[in-house]
């Protein structure tokens, strides 16, 4: 996350108003709900995990055991269970 100086992007009257509440501190302003993206959307991490989980589900449906899948994907048996028994 990069920081931006308030006086570079905010109008002076807004800065004066903010200074009533905080001065000389770092202030985090979250994105609005409409601009929020789920984890891994930008980096592609979510897609990689979704594809892996789909392969695990296919393997389970084709007769592989929980233990075999755990060994193959280097995951715990509990994690494999969560993946194969999930509704999605």
Q: Give Cβ neighbours of residue 81 (< 8 Å, ≥ 6 apart).
A: 66
Task: Give CA–CA dist 69/76, Å, rounded.
Answer: 9
Q: Do the Cβ atoms of 45 and 39 come closer than 8 Å?
A: yes
74: closest CA among 50, 56, 86?
Answer: 56
Task: Give CA–CA dist 59/64, Å, rounded.
Answer: 6
Each residue's pLDDT tens digit, 26-80: 888 888 888 878 888 889 999 999 999 999 999 999 999 999 999 999 999 999 9
Each residue's pLDDT tens digit, 7-27: 999 999 999 999 999 998 988
């Amino acid at each position: 996350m990069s920081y931006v100086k308030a006086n570079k992007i905010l109008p002076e009257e807004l800065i004066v108003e903010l200074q009533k509440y905080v001065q000389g501190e770092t202030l985090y302003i979250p994105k609005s709900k409409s601009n929020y993206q789920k984890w891994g959307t930008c980096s592609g991490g979510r897609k990689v995990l979704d594809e892996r989980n789909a392969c695990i589900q296919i393997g389970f449906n084709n007769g592989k055991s929980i233990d075999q899948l755990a060994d193959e994907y280097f995951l715990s048996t509990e994690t494999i269970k969560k993946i194969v028994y999930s509704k999605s």
